[in-house]
Structure 1
Amino acid sequence: MKVLHLNAGNETGGGMKHILSLLNELDHDQVVLGVFEDGEMVQRAQELGIETVHFKQAFPFDLSVVFQINRYIQQEKIDIVHTHGPRANVLMRLLKPKLQIPWVLTLHSDPDDDFIGHGVKGELFTRLHKRAIRSADHCMAISERFRKRLLQMNVPNHKITTIYNGIDFSKTPEMNWERKNFGFTEEDFLIAMVARFEPVKQHELAIEAFAAFKQRNENAHLLLIGDGTLENQLRKLCEKLEVDKSVHFLGFRNDVGALLPMVNLTLLTSKSESFPLVLLESARANVPAVTTDVGGVDQLIPSKGYGWIVDQSKSESIANALNQAALLNGSELQVIGERFRDFASNRYSTQHFADQVENVYDFLYKLPSKIGYNI
């Protein structure tokens, strides 16, 4: 069995980590990563020894790429196509009538939130994306909430499997950054937020909550790790709220795993998520998290003994959770972090994640005539 995974190839955050961690766990002889843009994702895949193929597009809506993909599938005798992301899903819908093999997709995000701020074009592509999702032979939902979202989109229940993300908890960074490397002291209270600077991540909520939190915690610092279209706007907000000296824009980094162990807390303020890998990375680092109530976070943080889940629409709720964490002494917060890691590592490993995906492949491969039956 050989599976072609299709993605735009411009992922740099959780989506990229999800795909690469899955492909790395699967038999490399049985998977190929196909992309439309040759960037960091391809480089990382090749470093892992994962076969890659670049289906070149002249522009993002260049439909001629469909013929390239079809030719490759026929020549390489691909058995299953697994798509990730809106562009791959829409293109696969166009290709599906020409194929006699199963198509499975993973829903990484809420389709209604993928193109926030993109105007009429965004609304059009959202509709096209939803139609594509309904056309797939099977859908993998990264959380129970996303399974319900698929049901709302009229995807039959028997065509959906909920599969939570996983990471390798045995993997540790070669080195960990120390606070002094960034000019911080042991007395500083450090909060890290790892997220693209895009509307769906709601950084403005994080900055507003931090500004309120900062009034009672003078030694607090917010580390923003990522990049994106809203960076200048967010910098101006920091200046307006007079926290620009305490909010640090660290840019996109490949060493998040080495950074997290030095912070006290991680923060996630997204409007929509599936099952955030950044929270699993926080758990691996023994660092508790404050997060909005999105995706499957309630499965990862079942109670306040493991972290804080807050109302996603109110900066006051986020600030209150930050204050609760800061009031704990270091050892109490560390206990929560260790409990967080123990809970996550026993349930959300890469091996468990990959095994569930392979179960779906096996069903689709062995019983192609029964695609659509409940697995």
Structure 2
Amino acid sequence: MNILHVFRSPVGGLFRHVCDLAEEQARLGYNVGIICDASTGGASAASKLDALQAICTLGVHRIPMSRHIGFSDVKVLRNIPRLCAGENIDVVHGHGAKGGAYGRILAKMLHAKAIYTPHGGSMHYSITTPTGMFYLALERCLKKFTDGIIFDSKTSAETYRGKVGGFSCAHRVVHNGLREYEFDRLPRTEQENQFVFVGEIRKLKGLDVLLQALALIKDPAVSLSVFGSGPDEAFFKNRVQVLGLINQVTFHLPVFPVTKAFVNARCVVVPSLAESFPYIVLETAAARVPLLTTNVGGIPEIFGPHAYQLLPAGDANELAKAMQRVLNDHDSAESLADSLHNHVHTHFRFSTMVEHIVGFYNELLTSPMQLPINGQVIAQAK
């Protein structure tokens, strides 16, 4: 099987997901290729992609991709097929809004099966806003180019159904999973009162709510370390000054693996306003680190019977109270982290994720395609 993964920015959970998936598919003997943006991700992304280059027999290709829709997209769609010249691609798996659009159009050019995984993307927009109406209308147009959709959570599938409409192709829910070694106990150096945020620095991730909560605690000894980069970095650095937190908040470049950010963490905070099925939540739970996060997207599916711990999104007061509880009773926070670890270890395995995704590819490749010939429809296998 020849598999091509297409996505835009090599950052965050989406990047981790594609890297993990491509690496394992290559190990299983499939021919795998990657196409992504050349202008984002920094040194850590370049290092990871260089490592994948050695095992991806269809190559790792980086070309400039704009975050927003524009004339540059026409140039990208003209250039991408050249990268695949001479390859008999069976599956093009597009990830995220931009990667999903490129991937599905490319699949039709290459006569391959088009698979799409939203990873949030367009699904984060409200259908009541002009921007949301535009992007969701594009999603509806792209349905006709789609052979299959893999959702990372039941919530993502229901969101798609509600915003884009009923399914016109095969679809599956396949939860993200972690490798066995990621569930090993993380050796942590205790550091008093340190909270940690790890992720893309953009407003959707709720960092402003976290900064407000830190200000509400009113204790100069309480610190926050922010690991990541993103389009709103300048905005949040200014917010730190406005809120008087300059001596409590430090910004750091993204780290890989993210567990490097956990070593000195008393508690990881994921204050997202919207999510899909975030790896950072899985990774924190697997490492047995106390975690505060919100009741959005697929996070309740990760927490399962522990979902009562989740916080309302966008509520700085509730987050400040929860942070104070962690400071006051750290033993209880560690105990809750152990319980969540056991649940995640049981239900979210990497091997299961890969098995189900590859199985879905095979189902689509062996199912008949409906082709019109002389006004009649006949079935043909890919």
TM-score with structure 2 length normalisation? 0.82
Pick closer, same or farther for the CA change 1:263–1:16 going to 2, 3 Å. Answer: same
Following the alignment from structure 1 to structure 2, what is the Cα–Cα distance between the partners of residues 106 and 228? 22
Please state if 1:84 is matched with 2:98. no
Contact 1:63–1:91 (8 Å) recurs in 2 = no
Runs of 4+ in 1 over 6 A off after TM superposition: 119-123
Pick closer, same or farther for the CA change 1:133–1:278 going to 2, 3 Å. Answer: farther
CA deviations on 1:199-236 (whole Å, 9 max, x unpaired) are: 21121111101211x32x55321111112232222222
Gaps of 5+ in 1: 180-185
Contact 1:268–1:290 (8 Å) recurs in 2 = yes
Following the alignment from structure 1 to structure 2, what is the Cα–Cα distance between the partners of residues 131 and 12? 27
Q: Which residue of 2 aligns with 1:50?
A: 55
Q: Which residue of 1 aligns with 2:377?
A: none
Q: Which residue of 1 aligns with 2:22?
A: 23
Q: CA deviation at 1:347?
A: 1.3
Q: Which residue of 1 aligns with 2:115?
A: 104
Pick closer, same or farther for the CA change 1:47–1:282 going to 2, 3 Å. Answer: same
Matches within 5 A, 1:185-334: 186=191, 188-212=192-216, 214-215=217-218, 219-304=221-306, 308-330=309-331, 332-334=332-334
CA deviations on 1:334-370 (whole Å, 9 max, x unpaired) are: 2222222221122112111111111111101111427
Q: Which residue of 1 aligns with 2:173?
A: 162
Q: CA deviation at 1:166?
A: 1.2
Contact 1:89–1:133 (8 Å) recurs in 2 = no
Pick closer, same or farther for the CA change 1:11–1:126 going to 2, 3 Å. Answer: farther
Contact 2:152–2:175 (8 Å) recurs in 1 = yes
> Whose relative contact order is higher, 1 or 2, with alpha carbons under 8 Å and at least 6 apart?
1
Please state if 1:138 is matched with 2:148. yes
Gaps of 5+ in 2: 372-382
Following the alignment from structure 2 to structure 1, what is the Cα–Cα distance between the partners of residues 237 and 323? 21
Contact 1:55–1:65 (8 Å) recurs in 2 = no
Moved more, 250-259 or 358-367: 250-259
Q: Which amino acid aligns with 1:50?
A: I
Classify the secondary structure of the residue corresponding to 2:117: strand
Please state if 1:14 is matched with 2:10. no
Q: CA deviation at 1:41?
A: 3.8
Q: CA deviation at 1:20?
A: 0.6
Aligned residues: 356
Contact 2:214–2:320 (8 Å) recurs in 1 = yes
Contact 1:274–1:295 (8 Å) recurs in 2 = yes
Classify the secondary structure of the residue corresponding to 2:239: helix
CA deviations on 1:98-117 (whole Å, 9 max, x unpaired) are: 443211111101415379xx
Q: Which residue of 1 aligns with 2:352?
A: 352
Contact 1:290–1:307 (8 Å) recurs in 2 = no
Q: CA deviation at 1:78?
A: 1.0
Pick closer, same or farther for the CA change 1:258–1:58 going to 2, 3 Å. Answer: closer
Pick closer, same or farther for the CA change 1:318–1:369 going to 2, 3 Å. Answer: same
Following the alignment from structure 2 to structure 1, what is the Cα–Cα distance between the partners of residues 232 and 62? 30
CA deviations on 1:139-186 (whole Å, 9 max, x unpaired) are: 11111110001111114176321111112241489x96746xxxxxx4
Q: Which residue of 2 aligns with 1:183?
A: none
C-alpha RMSD over aligned residues: 3.1
Q: Which residue of 1 aligns with 2:378?
A: none
Classify the secondary structure of the residue corresponding to 2:157: helix
Contact 1:103–1:136 (8 Å) recurs in 2 = yes
Pick closer, same or farther for the CA change 1:227–1:68 going to 2, 3 Å. Answer: closer
Q: Which amino acid aligns with 2:296?
A: V
Following the alignment from structure 1 to structure 2, what is the Cα–Cα distance between the partners of residues 291 and 232? 24
Pick closer, same or farther for the CA change 1:298–1:368 going to 2, 3 Å. Answer: same
Classify the secondary structure of the residue corresponding to 1:274: coil
Q: Which residue of 2 aligns with 1:182?
A: none
Q: CA deviation at 1:89?
A: 2.1
Following the alignment from structure 1 to structure 2, what is the Cα–Cα distance between the partners of residues 34 and 234? 31
Following the alignment from structure 1 to structure 2, what is the Cα–Cα distance between the partners of residues 351 and 246? 40
Q: Which amino acid aligns with 2:50?
A: Q
Classify the secondary structure of the residue corresponding to 1:224: strand
Q: Percent identity?
A: 19
Q: CA deviation at 1:258?
A: 2.2
Q: CA deviation at 1:307?
A: 7.8
Pick closer, same or farther for the CA change 1:362–1:43 going to 2, 3 Å. Answer: same
